[in-house]
Chains A and B, each alone.
Chain A
């Protein structure tokens, strides 16, 4: 028996043989039965009791994810809004303090260097979370393209947890009273046992939940306090991947890269109206042309017939067997109970209901284009 491809390492082929670093919760994961694998330069838990069980638990109760590999940055200095707007299509002027905004770090060709969340904070600084595998390149890019007066503080000692699922609010508000008053895409400062936390109601599973930025020295105690809540179990990267796939949340390095544009990636909501009109970010011209004429390829969701998963790297082929598109994420979806995928297909094939032919390891599969998300989002948009 030999493995053809693993979900947790498939996209990391560009990560060279470098010494793996350890995150503050490394021993905690091992003590909780986490199976550790290399990911984004760190050793991370891919699973504890099993991906399927962890996925379903998160959809029904609440799951605690360690996402401390992600880069947490603080930008400050004069002209910070303009400096950020020069690199991404966000509308910083319209962004409300304390409310996270999804945006894209843009390449000159209209491709995507990274996707990120940024939050304006009182006092004018901006807090940003970027992908772990991209963070060093991102920091170099910001440093190169931003004025020297802008300070970029990489919060290397800060950990990041995500508590996701319909019971996350019950569990977290019991520990940290007040978090239940936040609504989706709203954050605030909280205290827990003398430690400063930044908590936002956001996440990467399609469920209600929270992301908690916590000093590294306090994260173990906080993770313990959260997981002793009866609603909560620790969840690994494997389930994080299947949950986000079902929720139509693209993963950088897989579904997004320097060759995909925001229009092709169906992330038009990140192109804010004022920025579309005024421009002033890399790739604006190409993106406006694509908006007008339609992209050549478009990111869609597929349900695959049968039971065999069709994974990243499989080809979308036409009647002659020529490659016309590519699967960028795929797997067996525990909540849907079918194999699902994200793929880039020609715009003519992107309408829901269209059947597409897929080729993987010499075998033909059939997929049907479906509207995403595969599992409805359950964000809490109004206060209790």
Chain B
């Protein structure tokens, strides 16, 4: 399994042709208290770069872009009642959705964990 990141602070954890997507710990720390998350429904077809989810903090609303293309298998239903999970565990329990990747080679254009850590440290 490998984890990849975008410059817009999404992550995708890839296991075979299945991916799990969320926002980075850096992103949640910048957003502050998260009060609402909207995730895509099962079966939704998405292309890399689509705005597929919404995350709102006390301060602001943000769109979340999909780091890869594919078909949504599951949205994280637990976030509807407990959006603060994203603050507590952004890169674990606070995942947004899982999908079947239509083109696993897309991850090659993303950053690995070390490259993202370097990227975020300069922001």
Contact = CB atoms under 8 A, between A and B. Distances in A.
Interface of A: 1-8, 46-47, 50-53, 238, 242, 307-309, 311, 331-332, 334, 339, 361
B74 interface: no
B33 A51 contact: yes
Given A309-B56, A332-B35, 5 more contacts: A1-B23, A7-B60, A307-B36, A307-B80, A332-B56
A361 B55 CA distance: 14
Given A52-B33, A309-B56, A2 B62 contact: yes
B9 A242 contact: no
The majority secondary structure among interface residues of chain B is strand
A46 B58 CA distance: 11
Question: Looking at chain B, what size class is its interface with the partner chain?
Answer: 20 to 34
Contact of A238 (B8, B23, B54, B59): B59
Nearest to A337: B35
Nearest to B51: A2
A3 B62 contact: yes
Contact of A311 (B9, B61, B64): B61
A5 B61 contact: yes
13 contacts: A1-B9, A1-B55, A1-B62, A3-B60, A4-B62, A7-B58, A8-B59, A47-B32, A242-B58, A309-B35, A309-B61, A331-B58, A339-B35
A7 B58 CA distance: 8
A54 to B, nearest CB: 10
Contacts of B23: 1
Contacts of A5: 60-61
B58 A308 contact: no
B8 A307 contact: no
A332 B60 contact: no
Contacts of A6: 59-60
